Structure 1
Amino acid sequence: MEEFLTLVEIQLGRDHYLIDGDIIDKFILPLEATGVYDAPPYIEGMVRWNEEMIPAINVAPLLGMDRAGGAERRRTMIIPAGKVAETALAVSVDQVDQVRKISQADVMPIDISSCQGIEDYVKGIVRLQEGGEQIVLLYLNMEKMLRELLKGKVARPVPDFYVWRWDMTAGSHAQ
């Protein structure tokens, strides 16, 4: 029996990508973020979601790109607690295009040299027929990307003021 993946087509900048849909709980309009002092560029701030404050993350800088213009099209993907991190996450993208069912056989390996700088975050490429033409999309490992981004931690010393703290123990295990 053929296995299918549920992949979400997102837009970051001008480019379209596929990510695993099983880590995403909801797609919502962007939430207002409270800034985080000394945070890296991919941390947009903290947002209120279901009565708790969670990190708002923009993965575009990790992929070496700027945001697309037009905030009216932006979306936030809510990733529930336990899927990638102990807390829920709000991941900001420029657009969510569609959810696709893709045969696992349609995911092809990619020449890593063509993904310079993001090779650790690419699972493969997917070729699709759409409107009589063939499109090729990179299939990103969003889970790995987010885990690596979150090696820092958000500390909350006083209400509505957040400071980014680096977790020096993450990834520094003895060999």
Structure 2
Amino acid sequence: MDGYIEIVDFELGGEHYALDIHLVREIVEMKPITEIPRTPPYIKGIMNLRGEITTILSLNELLSVPEKMDGDRKIIVLVPETSQGSNVGMIVDDVHSVMHVPESDIDLSREGYGDEVTDYLRGIIKIRREGGGEEDELTSLILWLDMKRLLENFFADAART
């Protein structure tokens, strides 16, 4: 691998996650959400986003990650092609940055995590701080989500209910 990928780095439950930038239509501040009765807990409701009805999902609920109770949360709105033509936004605790990551810093091995994890995880991104020495210092890990696969499972579950 010798190329780069472009990701959005965001936070859930104190941990860093990423998704491909080309899946993101926009990032918006939290807005009022209209709850829909008798929906699964990961469907927070709908909102009017510039005249379009957009379904809002809790990524915390989908991934079983505790929600952050303080601070301003964000909504990552996906391009409709990612969500089977639907307008979908995901609540996240915070959005940090857009990053260019060398493919050599991505571990695509998903072995040893179990089938449930491999259903939504594309890989693990190693973030390094340049130290000027032979090896840069590993500073953090980011879980790179497979949003298409995660949403395919969501839509399949929704069709069964």
Shorter-chain TM band: 0.7 to 0.9
Q: Which amino acid aligns with 1:13?
A: G
Q: 1:105 to 1:52 in 2, by over 3 A?
A: same
Q: 1:43 to 1:19 in 2, by over 3 A?
A: same
SS at match of 2:80: coil
The question of 1:16 aligning with 2:16 is answered yes
Confirm or deny: 8 A CA contact 2:78 2:87 kept in the other structure: yes
TM-score by length of 2: 0.85
Between 80-89 and 39-48, the greater mean CA deviation after superposition: 80-89
SS at match of 1:19: strand
Q: Distance in 2 between matches of 1:37 and 1:110?
A: 40
Q: Within 5 Å, give how 1:26-65 maps onto structure 2.
A: 26-65=26-65
2:129 is matched with 130
The question of 1:87 aligning with 2:86 is answered yes
The question of 1:107 aligning with 2:99 is answered no
Could you list the runs of 5+ residues in structure 2 that have no partner in the other structure?
132-136
Q: 1:81 to 1:109 in 2, by over 3 A?
A: closer
Q: Which amino acid aligns with 1:167?
A: A
Could you list the runs of 5+ residues in structure 1 that have no partner in the other structure?
153-165, 170-175
RMSD across aligned C-alpha pairs, in angstroms?
Answer: 2.2
The question of 1:145 aligning with 2:137 is answered no
- The CA deviation at 1:116 is 6.5
Q: Distance in 2 between matches of 1:104 and 1:129?
A: 13
TM-score by length of 1: 0.79
More helix by percentage: 2
SS at match of 1:31: coil
Q: Distance in 1 between matches of 2:105 and 2:3?
A: 10
Q: Distance in 2 between matches of 1:115 and 1:48?
A: 38
- The CA deviation at 1:88 is 1.5
Q: Distance in 2 between matches of 1:50 and 1:80?
A: 15
Q: Which amino acid aligns with 2:93?
A: D
Aligned residues, how many?
A: 155
Percent of paired sites with the same residue: 21
Q: Which amino acid aligns with 2:143?
A: L
